[in-house]
Structure 1
Amino acid sequence: MATRSWWGWGTVENAVRGDERDRLTARVAALLPGADLTVHEPPALPSLDLPAPVVAPPPSLARLCSSSVEDRAAHGHGKAFRDVVRNLHGSLASVPDVIARPRTEQDVIDLLDWCSSDIAVIPYGGGSSVVGGIEPRFDGPAVTVDLGHLAAVSEVDSVSRAARIQAGVLGPALEDQLRPHGLTLRHFPQSFEFSSLGGWLATRAGGHYATLYTHIDDLVESLRVVTPSGVAESRRLPGSGAGPSPDRLFLGSEGTLGIITEAWLRVQERPRWRARASVEFASYADGVTAARVIAQAGLYPANCRLLDPAEAFINAGASASVLVLGFESADHPVASTMDRALELCRDHGGVVQSSDEASSAWRSSFLRMPYQRDALAQQSMIVETFETACTWDRFASLHSGVVAAATAAIKEVAGAGVVTCRFTHVYPDGPAPYFGVYAAGRWGSTVAQWDEIKAAVSEAIVAAGGTITHHHAVGRDHRPWYDRQRPDVFAAALRGAKSALDPTGILNPGVLLDP
């Protein structure tokens, strides 16, 4: 069995090493000459100086709980660049006191009862948060409730094509349980291997598919949520006009209103027909136009990912902007749909590649990106991403403003670096641009350097009319800009809901709302 890394992404066995690290280091050295690429190893777990736990579970719950150094360290941070770097430095000032692993919904209820007066509760799925969503960044005791044992597909309705699924199941195990039924949830975020259904629901996660059902929201029939005030379960329906949706209240609530324990999800037959292609554009603007036209044509590609020249060069080995296209269906061949999409690309200067080499290279790179990010973090590099969404009419100004802000901030804190952009999703009314930053940092300072860059680009995003997050959630890191994005009257309504569902404010303090 593979060993999960306590300090970084994924498993220890899949970490970057050997020839892969040598090649990665050589590419970075060519891109940023003079960078100090010395490798710094993570500290040994026994050497971590964690604060002593200040609470212990009652005897009735002790069987569910752990306060081991490994558990507390592994659950203290998410998987953002700044989390990984702090782990590498052994900087774990804020970690939970207790890790609880409920095995039934009643265990979740009992845990909330124990914590109800003055112990903060942090719901935890796969721990892949990149926005400080699972870090106890507050004073007072904290219990992390890890739902990993609630991991079953409990029921399948093949007639309605829906499944009742427990919230703690990770992506691969979920698909393994649906596969014998010939079904799939068809939701594949980049974190798929190490993130959970409950995490996807609580953060309104975006999947890999570029159009149509892009967010987990689109797949929800009903939710069951345990709150300090009781259990909420919505009626399972294909649609309803009966007032505001209770599911919409809990989707994206990031563990602040309750703990999602299970959901009915819309599932699909597994695809039988697929087509893929890559198209190069000499002009990035022409690639943007082609992506927009395809998004507005009702073709619904599974993949419509535009890579700017820098992104295409670093992760696909191409020398121009590349549009990676893919179609799939469980019902019918998709060759004619692909033909129409390629025709639209040609109308806007696209050159269809005779081989799919660039998109194949990008897909391989996509799967290794988090591991390579960790390897570069060990070498004092600043390697991180941020995402947003905007309407098509605002994209050009948003893109130029964000790139300018990122470039200026990089120059200020690191001297030199590269900013890349790709589309992760495209809608008829706008794209979801996903930016990458690569810069040479100073060992011991890279978190502070990144924080300055992040603040600059966040200001640029908000100023250009984009959202502070398209699918990474709010957590604690995006709070200043989220507070400015949401309407004040909605903030008041959210505080009212929080007060009714969590009267003592124990659930994930500081996320979405002040404690």
Structure 2
Amino acid sequence: MSEQPELTVQGWGPGGASEAPDLAAVLPKAARRHLARELGWTPRPTPPVAVDEIRLPPSRLPADVHAELVALLGEDHVRTDRDARLRRAGGRSYTDLLRRRAGDASGAPDAVVLPGGTAQTAALLALCSERGVLVVPFGGGTSVVGGLAGADPDDRPSLAVDLARMASLADVDVASSLVTVGPGMRGPALEAALAPHALALGHLPQSWEFATVGGYAATRSAGQASTGVGRFDDLVAGLTLATPSGVLELGHPPASAAGPDLLGLALGSEGAFGVVTELRLRVRPAPRAARYEGWSFRSWADGLAGLQRLARHDLLPDVVRLSDPDETRATLLNAGGTGARLLRGALRARGRGGGCLLVVGWEGLAPLVRARRGAARPVLREHGAVPIGRRVGESWRRHRYAAPYLRDRLMDAGLLVETLETAATWTDLPAVYDAVRAALRASLGREGRQPLVMSHVSHGYPTGASLYVTVLADRDDALPLQQWLTAKRAATDALLAAGGTLTHHHAVGADHRPWLEREVGPLGVEVLRAVKQRLDPRGVCNPGVLLPDREGFS
């Protein structure tokens, strides 16, 4: 269906579960012992069911609608086969994976369609609106908040609108630093296409290998270098949105004051208003130099104070990642080999057996990299940080996309593994951190066993930063979904009460929509409902995400 690699049905990466190494092959013995001790966990094999044993309901797509779709798109671009539907049966959240690993693909689309451009997509949406068929845009399938749920109280048939045919670099305006891109293009393919022009986008989320440009826009994604190059919404100069009511052409670079910025309605709309069919992006010259390195703070509080000082004076690096003591300890244990032993020895020699690890990175012209690094280093030292070398930074850079692969192996061994994220002002961030940790420990602790809650701060701003939390716990094999949903509710309530945002970069999806009104207010929700009613009057565009349902359907 696509020349770009597709994710495996029950996990991360292009390979099948049968090809995966076991936990001992990917996690050092010291790290396994640490998890067993911290969690009260005994590793046990809990592999997913075989893919051919996954339960897939028959397609409910009416024959006459199928015929109309074939007439519009061509027979090769309308698929109802098992493999096509399974690969688009949701995203990659912990709950998504639990269901498919257990053999449940009841949320799979009834068909997969591949439109070839804006005109075909607009016609497709008009047809689906008229015939009462749901449409869920599908890029890389990397949503971790139920963004591909396609849930509908009326249980109408659904289509996954795969954007793989719209995956090209259509135009390059070097003088204006603008490029026009199809929504189905993935991060690696886009950077490779920009390289001959000595340009780069520089948007590198952890899902970069598989996520698409359209998905970045639909979720208001943030990349690992967003502190320096900006969030994805900062990089969008314009886009085209196909809706059941027509086509919107939004954005006018370099800037415009022609009323409210309607571009903001499309960014973060998660397919609820329509399908993004083209984007105009701001790019930059490809960096000629890069410097990544590690530092160590004595405490979490010292690290936050150091980053806040850098932010106030516009000295934050392009990449900044401050790990709390628990994440630092796990990082050191997970780093096997001679290099890791040397690092631990260097930290002990500096009186830092633990502390908090900071990874920073600068990219750009060599003189600017040297100048920015030179201005930041004294500030870090003033707050008690000590440098621990380039090897640490380069190791993080090499392995920055590894975590989702490791999660699959941890789930195979009987663990709950999930992440959540938020952002808060520098003033509120310590309270948000404490509140989320306490909520997760209280909700997941049982019979004297506690979860491992690890956090890091990244995506810095003058006013605050994001907080990213990874939690591991011994999985309740009897009620695994309920175990996590209870913890998720507790953590979300806690972070909102402490001053955090509902989401910094994962989006609302299905998982967060019950809390949206607490973030934007009742009138804000009604404004969004009014926009959806105008653009999608019959509610066929990804109805399971973003907006809380009036009837409480979830």
Q: Which letter maps to 1:431?
A: A
Counterpart in the other structure of 2:337: none
Report Cα offsets for 1:443-488 as digits up to 9, x if no partner. 3532221111111110111100111100000000001112211122
CA shift in 2, pair 1:4/1:315, >3 Å: same
Counterpart in the other structure of 1:119: 133
Counterpart in the other structure of 1:199: 215
Report Cα offsets for 1:193-223 as digits up to 9, x if no partner. 1000000001100011141433111111111
Indicate if the aligned counterparts of 1:128 and 1:191 stay in contact, CA closer than 8 A. Answer: yes
Q: CA deviation at 1:81?
A: 1.4
Compute the RMSD of aligned alpha carbons.
Answer: 2.0
Kindly report which structure 2 residues correspond to 1:92-111, keeping only aligned pairs within 5 A, or say none. 92-111=105-124
Indicate if the aligned counterparts of 2:292 and 2:360 stay in contact, CA closer than 8 A. Answer: yes
Counterpart in the other structure of 1:31: 35
Counterpart in the other structure of 1:224: 240
CA shift in 2, pair 1:413/1:401, >3 Å: farther
Counterpart in the other structure of 2:59: 53
How many Å separate the matches in 2 of 1:412 and 1:298? Answer: 45
Aligned with 1:128 (options 136, 139, 142): 142
Q: Which moved more, 1:367-376 or 1:272-281?
A: 272-281
CA shift in 2, pair 1:252/1:173, >3 Å: same
CA shift in 2, pair 1:444/1:362, >3 Å: farther
Counterpart in the other structure of 2:350: none
How many Å separate the matches in 1 of 2:269 and 2:11? Answer: 25
**Is 1:380 matched with 2:384?**
no
Aligned with 1:368 (options 393, 402, 408): 402
SS at match of 2:123: helix
Q: Which moved more, 1:15-24 or 1:450-459?
A: 15-24
SS at match of 2:140: coil
Q: Which letter maps to 2:319?
A: N
Indicate if the aligned counterparts of 1:96 and 1:142 stay in contact, CA closer than 8 A. Answer: yes
Q: Which moved more, 1:361-370 or 1:503-512?
A: 361-370
How many Å separate the matches in 1 of 2:203 and 2:478? Answer: 37
Q: How many residue pairs align between the two structures? A: 514
SS at match of 2:375: helix
SS at match of 1:114: helix
Q: CA deviation at 1:119?
A: 0.8
SS at match of 2:484: helix
CA shift in 2, pair 1:185/1:20, >3 Å: farther
SS at match of 2:401: helix
How many Å separate the matches in 1 of 2:57 and 2:474? Answer: 32
Counterpart in the other structure of 1:76: 89
How many Å separate the matches in 1 of 2:318 and 2:26? Answer: 34
SS at match of 1:406: helix
**Is 1:6 matched with 2:9?**
yes
Report Cα offsets for 1:70-112 as digits up to 9, x if no partner. 2212111101111112111112222110111122323212321
Q: Percent identity between the aligned chains? A: 35
Aligned with 1:189 (options 200, 205, 212): 205
Report Cα offsets for 1:121-152 as digits up to 9, x if no partner. 10111110000011122322111101011000
**Is 1:21 matched with 2:35?**
no
SS at match of 2:229: coil
How many Å separate the matches in 2 of 1:343 and 1:278? Answer: 15
CA shift in 2, pair 1:440/1:68, >3 Å: same
Per the normalisation by structure 1, the TM-score is: 0.95
Q: Which moved more, 1:359-368 or 1:335-344?
A: 359-368
Aligned with 1:153 (options 169, 172, 183): 169
CA shift in 2, pair 1:330/1:163, >3 Å: farther
**Is 1:306 matched with 2:322?**
yes
Indicate if the aligned counterparts of 1:48 and 1:90 stay in contact, CA closer than 8 A. Answer: yes
How many Å separate the matches in 2 of 1:109 and 1:414? Answer: 56
Q: Which letter maps to 2:57?
A: P
How many Å separate the matches in 2 of 1:442 and 1:181? Answer: 52
**Is 1:327 matched with 2:327?**
no
Kindly report which structure 2 residues correspond to 1:329-478, keeping only aligned pairs within 5 A, or say none. 329-330=364-365, 332-353=367-388, 355-412=389-446, 415-478=449-512
Aligned with 1:66 (options 59, 76, 79): 79
Indicate if the aligned counterparts of 1:43 and 1:90 stay in contact, CA closer than 8 A. Answer: yes
How many Å separate the matches in 2 of 1:84 and 1:130? Answer: 10
Q: Which letter maps to 1:136?
A: G
Counterpart in the other structure of 1:87: 100
**Is 1:242 matched with 2:258?**
yes
Q: CA deviation at 1:258?
A: 1.3
Aligned with 1:137 (options 145, 151, 154): 151
Q: Which letter maps to 2:180?
A: R
How many Å separate the matches in 2 of 1:28 and 1:451? Answer: 26
Indicate if the aligned counterparts of 2:184 and 2:213 stay in contact, CA closer than 8 A. Answer: yes
Counterpart in the other structure of 1:173: 189
Q: Which letter maps to 2:164?
A: G
Q: CA deviation at 1:398?
A: 1.3
Per the normalisation by structure 2, the TM-score is: 0.89
Counterpart in the other structure of 2:525: 491
Unaligned runs of 5+ in 2: 334-343, 345-353, 550-554
CA shift in 2, pair 1:362/1:179, >3 Å: closer
Q: Which moved more, 1:403-412 or 1:455-464?
A: 403-412
Q: Which moved more, 1:272-281 or 1:471-480?
A: 272-281
Indicate if the aligned counterparts of 1:278 and 1:358 stay in contact, CA closer than 8 A. Answer: yes
How many Å separate the matches in 2 of 1:370 and 1:25? Answer: 20
Report Cα offsets for 1:401-445 as digits up to 9, x if no partner. 111111111214893221111012111110101011011113353
How many Å separate the matches in 2 of 1:276 and 1:286? Answer: 21
Indicate if the aligned counterparts of 1:32 and 1:440 stay in contact, CA closer than 8 A. Answer: no
